[in-house]
């Protein structure tokens, strides 16, 4: 089997590629190394892939690359590439989101149908739902994006459906719900929270912290992608991929304080445009069609991310002291939350 994984240097793409590699005759990874976070971080994500003889890396922009040539002989495309994040998608940044999330996806689909790709897996997002009309949200709910980013991810979904309906291209879109875990992007909330918790520095929280999210560990997302490359699915299928860990941000901070065993220095900043109040999914279709259910509990998954950050920060962490906090900052105390014996490291 020959695979193409786009966004291979990213948080999810690198881990999907690692999971697929043992079953691959050849795995081609494509990434254009956008400047949304440092290239050195992305290169570190590739560390386990680069030495493998059946892996090759192609640095290319999907918006201009010769995609029919790149996809020639490829059986399965796992399309993880795209510009992520709600907040940067407003204003002048939107044109870049259209280029990377819509135009690149269309070009990839066009090449895939012309060369006879067997399966096309597309990384979508819960952002397509916006503030849903009801919860838990199923795939039958009418998408109502609340941000330009969500609009571009929905456009990619519609393109997948269009190529499926018109050309029989076997596409499946996986709607990820707030993915966290090792290698998470530096701009994402858990990364910022854990890094600050380990360092004893200030944590900025947007809004009241009462926003509810259906948090999903990256291991579960990777497993869903692998299953989606193999399952018998109708063209244009859309599936929710959510972790079932539906809690508010303040609860996450309480859990984190127990794991790092130090008070957290939290300051509240303004609510951000495009941030929805709640996400919560039903994953009955993924269970029925993929045999997939989430397996990682939030406290276990958060512990795995804390361990990853500690490993990265070990050379630079200084001894922490208590009692020197800015009086203007609210302090989330460290409760008696112990890491479970079966937490992942």
What are the catalytic residues? 149
Residue with tokens 């929280």: 205
CB 120 within 8 A of CB 160: yes
Distance, in Å, from the CA atom of 226 to the CA atom of 240, rounded to the nearest integer, reads 15
User: In terms of C-beta density within 10 A (0-12 exposed, 13-18 middle, 19 or more buried), how is residue 2 classed?
Assistant: middle
């Amino acid at each position: 089997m020959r695979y193409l994984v786009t966004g291979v240097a990213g948080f999810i793409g690198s881990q999907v590629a690692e999971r697929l590699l043992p079953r691959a005759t050849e795995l081609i990874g494509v990434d254009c190394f956008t400047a949304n976070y440092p290239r050195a971080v992305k290169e570190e994500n590739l560390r386990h892939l680069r030495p493998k003889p059946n892996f090759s890396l192609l640095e290319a922009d999907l918006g201009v690359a010769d995609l029919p040539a790149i996809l020639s002989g490829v059986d399965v495309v796992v399309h993880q590439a795209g510009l992520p994040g709600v907040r940067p998608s407003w204003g002048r940044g939107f044109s870049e989101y259209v280029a990377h999330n819509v135009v690149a996806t269309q070009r990839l689909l066009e090449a895939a149908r012309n060369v006879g790709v067997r399966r096309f897996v597309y990384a979508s997002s819960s952002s397509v739902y916006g503030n849903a009309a009801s919860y838990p949200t199923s795939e039958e709910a009418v998408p109502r994006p609340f941000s330009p980013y969500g609009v571009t991810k929905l456009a990619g979904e519609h393109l997948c459906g269009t190529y499926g309906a018109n050309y029989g291209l076997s596409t499946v879109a996986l709607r990820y719900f707030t993915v966290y875990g090792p290698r998470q992007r530096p701009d994402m909330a858990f990364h910022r929270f854990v890094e600050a918790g380990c360092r004893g520095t200030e944590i900025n929280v947007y809004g009241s912290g009462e926003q509810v999210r259906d948090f999903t560990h990256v291991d579960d997302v990777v497993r869903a992608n692998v299953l989606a490359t193999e399952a018998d699915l109708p063209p244009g299928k859309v599936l929710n991929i959510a972790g079932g860990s539906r809690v508010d941000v303040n609860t996450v901070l309480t859990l984190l304080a127990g794991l790092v065993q130090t008070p957290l220095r939290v300051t509240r900043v303004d609510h951000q445009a495009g941030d929805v109040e709640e996400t919560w999914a039903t994953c009955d279709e993924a269970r029925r069609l993929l045999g997939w259910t989430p397996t990682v509990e939030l406290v276990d998954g958060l512990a795995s991310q804390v361990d990853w950050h500690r490993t990265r920060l070990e050379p630079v962490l200084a001894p922490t002291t208590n009692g020197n906090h800015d009086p203007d900052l609210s302090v989330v105390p460290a409760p008696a939350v112990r890491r479970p014996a079966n937490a992942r490291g």
